[in-house]
Structure 1
Amino acid sequence: MSFLDNLVNKGKAKLNEFTQQHQQAPHPNYSNRPPPPPVNYASKPGGFPPSVPPRPQAPYQNPPLPQQYGPAPYWQADFNPSVPVPSIFVQETGAHGWGNNESQNYTTNPQNSFFTPDHKLVIRGIVSPSPNDKYTSARLYTHQTLSRQRGCLTAVLSAPCAEGIWPAFWLLPKEPFTWPNDGEVDIFESWNGDKVNHSCLHWGHFNGEDWNKHRVIETPIPDLDARPHHFAFAWDQPEDGKGGRMVWYIDGNAVMKANIPEGTRRLSEYRIILNVAMGGNVCGGKLPREGYYDFVVHELKMWNEPQGGWGNFYADFERGREGKTM
């Protein structure tokens, strides 16, 4: 399956997914839900569920940050193991294929998403030897929105790279919203262990009329599975929410720019989504092997200004590349 076919399938999947979601019951109120029972992952070799063999991975390490973004972030996620995951994220659930014929069942099980003693978030895709619930994972979105007209979102991520695995760090407006008209921003996603990041912007359907409403830049990251990487997304939007500019960064380098499309939702109303999908049309029907696949979030922050300040942002925008149409 070609890269273009994968992108078209991704778009169709998103449309089907949100059509299905809006026909279903609303998300549960996690504020009234008791936290999941504590799990002592330190007592398990490698922290993996007892029925699943460990899969060797690169050690988690903190990469050097390109530059500081200002005196302090205006929001940061504290992945404190003493609090439940729903204190920061809504845990979406389901095994309905998510519009893409995906195989994973997204769960609230603490084996699939948890905070570590050293304050990291782990989203763990598990391929179990058991035929019951063989593929499980987690899909999380923040209660917190970007909340400001201009700013910079940063994340330090260690991503799994394997056939049939699709980790993603992306943005959608808070509900209720209409996809794709309200817009979507993809900051990091990599398919099938290809070690290529797909920075994307979507605000239209995959048809002739909307041919120019899907933009992408592919950035090879040869050591994606060898060390953590630093991803950033900066935006500047007028107070009236009309127009503005965006720049995507990987390890301090501007990789894509875009004007904020007319008619999309204010970026201040967007939430952060983190998930690990398995199989499906985007992965060409390939499925991951038995084991576990960790998507590790070392830190997640929002800043008042991007790396190097707003002057650097405007310079990056002027010399940056616009995404190509799909």
Structure 2
Amino acid sequence: MSFFNQLKSKAEELLPFGQNRGQQGSGSSSHQNYPGRSYQHPPPGQWYQPPPGQLYQPSPGQWYPPPPGQWQQPPPGQWQQPPPAQWQQTTPPPPPPPYGSHPNGAAPPIPTGSRPGETSPDAQGPGVYWRPNFCAGIPVGEEFEQKQGHGDPWGWGNNELQNYTAEPSNSFYTPDGKLVLRAVARPAHPDPEARWTSARLVSRRTLARPDGCVTAWLTLPCAEGIWPAFWMLPREPFVWPHEGEVDIAETWNGDCQNHSCLHWGFYTPEDAPKHLVRQTHVADMARRPVRFDFAWRCGGTGIRKEDGKSAGGGRLMWYVDGRPVMRNIMPPGTRPIEDWCILLNVAMGGNVCQGKEPREGAYDLVVHSLQLTEAPEGGWGGFENDWHRCVDGAVM
């Protein structure tokens, strides 16, 4: 069977051939179908593997306090049974208590640092032109649009389970200045809308510059049926997939594999070269803040007069913990990078998770720091050096 026939066969297992697949959608336009990201595994040897000895060793977990009355997520693989469900309550019951605590015990202590022995990622350096205010005294909705519902098409095009909400039980700031996106699984709840709830946030700020870098320190939930993501799309309204998608951090089903991706085509054999990816194993991504950077240098590449789209040619670079893991050229016909937004979400179940459902409990994506800067760390000279030693994205 040819490569393209194999790709077509894989795609048809997930949805009818030719259907637009969208994980991200607001339902605001009938022409706005968002990325399905129904990934297909490439041949062996195409994924980026970090050099021996460069993987971080696990460090003690740091769990962040939820709003009053809510239990925090326990470490991966150490779930306990949650308290008996009280379905008559008007507010959701709390997630399971942390490992080693008691249902009626005190909440875990507030941590005082992010990475012992290192400079805190909260330090704002020169060249920062946007940094959201993670203050517990303001609503999350001031800095981010909080998407709601099941998407259009339903399940965000991937048969995902989650109902996105704007409730503080699903997205909130902690007293020590972190942003938490919490997915809550309660499969036995009698209300279908309350069984799988989560958060999906879109920055109200665009990248706004032809050259720059976005940096985030994230602790990612890693568990079966859970799919957290830190990524970018053009500002709405837009047309997916032609105007592009960039995935900076995403992992699913607890495999601790990060996927750096660039998409600008449909999931069809002829568009296969328009889906590029590199995979990086980060064994302890659920137990420490991991640094993710995406740098772009698109100034001077031009805008097409006929449609206002990018003329292409800009350079893009993905980093994990300061190491360049993937590079690529900005495809022509995509939205100019200045008009893109940042997204954070935690999806549950669906095609990408291979139909697996998360166990009952709470799963937190913790954003320790997020900022936009005029240049990547090391400046544009460092970017040039990284470009020459980095690898191109591999066709999915």
TM-score by length of 1: 0.86
Q: Is 2:393 the counterpart of 1:323?
A: yes
> 2:383 — aligned with what?
313
Determine if contact 1:163/1:193 at 8 Å carries over to the other structure.
yes
- Structure 1 residue 22: Cα displacement: 2.1
- Structure 1 residue 194: Cα displacement: 0.7
**Post-superposition CA distance 1:66-99 (Å, at most 9, x none):** 9999524111011111111110000111123111
- Structure 1 residue 13: Cα displacement: 6.9
2:67 pairs with 25, 37, 41, which one? Answer: 41
Determine if contact 1:198/1:218 at 8 Å carries over to the other structure.
yes
User: For the residues of structure 2 that align with 1:251 and 1:307, how far apart are their CA atoms?
Assistant: 12
Determine if contact 2:26/2:147 at 8 Å carries over to the other structure.
no
> 1:172 — aligned with what?
233
Q: Is 2:165 the counterpart of 1:107?
A: yes
1:22 pairs with 29, 33, 50, which one? Answer: 29
> 1:33 — aligned with what?
none
Determine if contact 1:235/1:246 at 8 Å carries over to the other structure.
yes
Q: Which has the larger radius of gyration?
A: 2
Q: How many pairs were matched up?
A: 310
Report 1:24-103 matches (<5 A): 41-46=67-72, 50-54=93-97, 56=99, 62-63=114-115, 64=118, 71-95=126-150, 96-103=154-161
- Structure 1 residue 9: Cα displacement: 5.1
Letter in 2 for 1:23: S
Aligned-partner SS, 1:222: coil
> 2:59 — aligned with what?
none
> 1:150 — aligned with what?
211
> 1:276 — aligned with what?
346
Q: Is 2:356 the counterpart of 1:297?
A: no
Deviates more, 1:158-167 or 1:205-214: 205-214
- Structure 1 residue 295: Cα displacement: 0.3
- Structure 1 residue 207: Cα displacement: 1.7
User: For the residues of structure 2 that align with 1:307 and 1:188, how far apart are their CA atoms?
Assistant: 18
- Structure 1 residue 51: Cα displacement: 3.7
Q: Is 2:206 the counterpart of 1:206?
A: no
User: For the residues of structure 1 that align with 2:130 and 2:340, how far apart are their CA atoms?
Assistant: 14
Deviates more, 1:49-58 or 1:280-289: 49-58
Which has the bigger relative contact order, CA under 8 A and spacing at least 6?
1
Q: Is 2:189 the counterpart of 1:130?
A: yes
Against the structure 1 CA distance between its residues 66 and 50, is the aligned structure 2 distance closer, same or farther, given a 3 Å change threshold? closer
Letter in 1 for 2:356: K
**Post-superposition CA distance 1:220-243 (Å, at most 9, x none):** 111111211000000000242432
User: For the residues of structure 2 that align with 1:218 and 1:87, how far apart are their CA atoms?
Assistant: 33
Against the structure 1 CA distance between its residues 161 and 47, is the aligned structure 2 distance closer, same or farther, given a 3 Å change threshold? closer
Deviates more, 1:231-240 or 1:66-75: 66-75
- Structure 1 residue 44: Cα displacement: 4.2
User: For the residues of structure 1 that align with 2:135 and 2:20, how far apart are their CA atoms?
Assistant: 34
1:236 pairs with 293, 297, 308, which one? Answer: 297
- Of Structure 1 and Structure 2, the greater strand share is in 1
Q: Percent identity?
A: 47
> 2:49 — aligned with what?
none
Letter in 2 for 1:91: Q
Determine if contact 1:66/1:252 at 8 Å carries over to the other structure.
no
After superposition, the CA RMSD in angstroms is 3.1
**Post-superposition CA distance 1:32-67 (Å, at most 9, x none):** xxxxxxxx8245454996443235499965234699
2:283 pairs with 197, 222, 233, which one? Answer: 222
- 5+ long unaligned stretches in structure 1: 26-39
User: For the residues of structure 2 that align with 1:21 and 1:286, how far apart are their CA atoms?
Assistant: 29
Against the structure 1 CA distance between its residues 52 and 191, is the aligned structure 2 distance closer, same or farther, given a 3 Å change threshold? same
> 1:265 — aligned with what?
335
> 1:251 — aligned with what?
321
User: For the residues of structure 1 that align with 2:290 and 2:217, how far apart are their CA atoms?
Assistant: 6
Q: Is 2:251 the counterpart of 1:163?
A: no
Determine if contact 1:13/1:100 at 8 Å carries over to the other structure.
no
Determine if contact 2:23/2:155 at 8 Å carries over to the other structure.
no
> 1:36 — aligned with what?
none
